[in-house]
Amino acid sequence: MQALHTIDAKFDDANLIGSAGLVPVMRLAERAGLQQLLAERLSVSSPNAAVKAGCVVAGMVAGADSIDDLDVLRHGGMAKVVSGVRAPSTVGTFLRTFTFGHVRQLDAVSSQVLAGLAGVVPRLLAGSEAMAFVDIDDTIREVHGYKKQGVAYGYSGVKGLNAQLAVLSSPTCAPVIAASRLRKGNTVSGQGAANLAAAAIATARRAGACGQVMVRADSGYYRRDLITAARKAKAWFSVTVRMSSAVTRAIAAIPEEAWTTIKYPRAIWDQDEQRWISEAQVAETSFTAFTSARKDEQVPCRLVVRRVERLNKAAAAAGQGELFASWRHHGFVTNSRLTTVAADETHRDHAIVEQVIAELKSGALKQVTTHDYVYGLGFSADDTQVAYLPRSGTRAPFRSCLRVMDVATRSSRELVCDTQALRFTWSDIRWSPDNSEVYFQAQVDGDRNRVQLVAVDLTATKPAVRVLTDPRQQRTDA
């Protein structure tokens, strides 16, 4: 037997929908003002520009990463749940009319949509009213072909384009992208970071971050223009420094008694030493950054340093003193008013942007439940929660429990499970107007002919199933 090489798989069943999750996503985008903003702000000379731009957004959410992939919106029964879909060739022609000015218009739309989302999903940026973080980083995305505009070999040695991101988060909410730029593949990391930071901070304020904002970045962004932009926007900054001679002199001047030992709740992998570390020491000193600039452009700040004892002391750079032979130092400058230990802990959380980049590269739609099958689901009236009926077990009789998930944080809680007397199976879930109850169908004694309407009070201390219809009556499809 030999496998054929001419197989062409097609998803063409008119009654099946491959991306049903796209429906609530686009409904939420509409409530956030996406279509209206596109119609108002986008001036590209193409008819129905807002509709075509919406197709691009929907296609990307459904997993499309090329123009041809936008055909995913026309597969199967998608026409029954979405409207205004354009052919990929039409959308491709539309995108080729864009100039840099049109891209900046989309940046403005993106900023206002995020603010709109924060309005309709109140917990999207929970905690940002007290403290918000803008984390900046960039990555190289590999591309292929000789005629792609801007393609070059960047710092990673990969031929591609450079994407620069500013991610907004708080101590209690998941990160969201506040601003982004697509750049040439060989662009220096920190180039344009000042404008990106200013735009991201403005977006954060627009979205409700009325408290303190901190801009965090690694040593590739240790630049005067970035730190000046943060200070001008009345934000704190926390930026890793390069180990220049000025920095090493400042570290060497820190007295030994100034170092405080800290322990990590979870061990951290040290890439340089290829080992897990669970403790380190931190200290700080006053520092003036960018002393080569004019006096009024120099930045007085705090230099916070974390040091880890070396296992291989012979690996220290030649010419450095005994202090640097025994310890490896990681420093960053900041103007925050946090304590030394808190400032170090907060700066290390900058790694959250790397997780966002990893998720962007790995795909669009993500599985948010740990179950392999869900009987039914329903969104709350304000789209902040989703109730669903997941199936558990590897063979019949399966078990199902009602769960409610917070859309912003993706945390879920189990409310009540089915019993032999009342089975939860295939059913849409509806919410009461005040989000205090949910309603769905359940089978009495597992009998498909005795399906009844039930309710669960979400505010109860111990939620229980309440049968609303007469379980003695036979099933009706009315």
CB 28 within 8 A of CB 63: no
pLDDT in tens, 370-417: 777 888 899 988 888 899 999 887 677 788 999 999 887 778 889 999
What is the 3-state composition of the chain as percent helix, strand, coil, each rounded to the nearest 5?
A: 30, 30, 40
CA-wise closest residue to 113 among 30, 55, 174, 50: 30
Residue 316 has pLDDT above 70, yes or no: no
Percent over 70 (pLDDT), the chain: 88
CB 289 within 8 A of CB 335: no
Taking residues 196-204, report their average pLDDT: 96
What is the model's pLDDT at position 4? 57
Dist CA 190 CA 134 (whole Å): 15
Residue 311 — pLDDT band, cuts 50, 70, 90? low
Taking residues 78-89, report their average pLDDT: 86
What is the model's pLDDT at position 477? 47
DSSP string for residues in 254-322 = S-GGG-EEEEEEEEEEETTTTEEEEEEEEEEEEEEE-TTS-GGG-EEEEEEEEEEE-S-GGGSPTT--H
pTM, entire model: 0.72
Q: What is the DSSP letter of 224?
A: H
Q: Which of 17-21, 150-154, 229-233, 467-471 has the highest mean pLDDT?
A: 229-233
Mean pLDDT of the chain: 86
Cis, peptide link before residue 88, omega less than 30° from 0: no
Taking residues 293-307, report their average pLDDT: 94
Residue 263 — pLDDT band, cuts 50, 70, 90? confident
Dist CA 179 CA 191 (whole Å): 15
